[in-house]
Amino acid sequence: MYELLVDLGGWLTGPEQWSGSDGIGVRLLEHLQYSALATVVAAAIALPIGLLIGHTGRGAFLAINLSSFGRALPTVGLVVLVFLASGLSMTPVYVALVALAVPAIVTNTYAGMAAVDRDVKDAARGQGMRWHQVLFQVELPLALPLIMTGLRLALIQVVATATIAAYVSFGGLGRYVFDGLAQRDLVQVLGGAVLVAVLAVALDLLLAGAQRLLFRHRAPATA
């Protein structure tokens, strides 16, 4: 075990691992690119759905159950299925990552909107606000902490799962895991896993800190 840890430390700190097109820096940027794009696309899909059902109170049962179904989808199986249908491209990876991220965003957005006090919304309407003003000037600001939590959770899940890009011969930190498995190189496999874990934890801490700074002077959306 000690020798394995020493080899792992040497692998992570070796200059050859940080240079060239297969270097850790390049793979890290690829991983972040896949994760960021998938999360942005998922947010573009999920946020309007969550805001709509949270504001109207309609379709919540269907949306939450569809979100649960999306969370239960086998990610690798979905990648293979879309890969066979679309051919050699990044499309299967993005489809799988978006499907993984959407449930957390929909669920938290809906929860944040549903948690807004009805009396607050009624008071806003009583002041003559129209539906879109109530939505964007009252409900959305109050729900924002929970919405941000959903986006944060979705991003971390995507980062942890983006290793599947290497499953269909693309880049990212998962390249070390799959190449290491193919070469029976345990040190490389562990190195890739450690890098993904460290990246996920670092992003989680960074986003949690940013969220606390943004909302430290605001009351939470829930009682």
Q: What is the pLDDT of residue 221?
A: 42
- Give the separation between CA 55 and CA 114, rounded to whole angstroms: 7
22 Cβ partners below 8 Å, 6+ apart? 175
- Give the separation between CA 127 and CA 142, rounded to whole angstroms: 18
Contact 138, 116 (CB under 8 A): yes
Output the six-digit token pair for 122: 């009624």
pLDDT digits (tens, 9 = 90+) for 68-101: 666 666 666 666 666 666 665 677 788 888 988 9
Does domain 2-215 match CATH 1.10.3720.10? yes
Global pTM reads: 0.83
Q: Find the distance separating the first CA and the last CA of the chain, reported in whole Å.
A: 49
pLDDT digits (tens, 9 = 90+) for 202-217: 999 999 898 888 877 5
Residue for token pair 């605001």: 218
53 Cβ partners below 8 Å, 6+ apart? 59, 60, 63, 110, 113
- Give the separation between CA 192 and CA 32, rounded to whole angstroms: 14
pLDDT digits (tens, 9 = 90+) for 120-173: 888 888 888 887 888 888 888 888 999 999 999 999 989 988 888 887 778 899
**Domain range annotation of the chain:** 2-215
